[in-house]
Amino acid sequence: MGLDNFPHTYPCQEQGTAIKNPDTGVTNCTATAEAGGCPWDTAPGRPTEGGALGIFGTNCWYRGKYGNWLAAALELDDGSFYGTNEDGDYLPPDECNTLADRLEEALADNGGELYQGDTPYTTDVNYAIWWLRWTAKVGNGAGAWF
């Protein structure tokens, strides 16, 4: 099993636009997006490339295991998408922003690019930075599921 991250508070639920499955009470992301109620779809500056979807493929989730790999590739030894609370399942907004800042600084220290061999990962790092800041702002930080 790996690590996936998601907005701690789903923005669509917070703004009251989530469409839930009547049988389970679970948010139906497809129906919510089709009805225009998905804040992810309308997020200003949302990158269209470099994302790593979580296990369920929900657009606002992020594959934290991949984020950890990117942080390690930038030699950010203590940069982690795991939560900072005792259970490791919640990264508060300030910690999301701190991790985003640290990733951005590490990328800058690396000449503004990340390559592993001939493969570029700069777009992926920039997506992770954007996602962390977005979920800090509209999701009350990041939850971690592992």
64-105 per-position pLDDT tens digit: 999 999 999 999 988 999 999 999 999 999 999 999 999 999
Stated pTM of the model: 0.94
pLDDT confidence of residue 53: 83
Task: Enumerate the domain spans of the chain.
Answer: 4-32+47-145
Stretches in the chain below the pLDDT threshold 70 = 1, 54-55, 57
Rounded Cα distance, 81 and 62, in Å:
10
Helix (H, G, I), strand (E, B) or coil at 24: coil
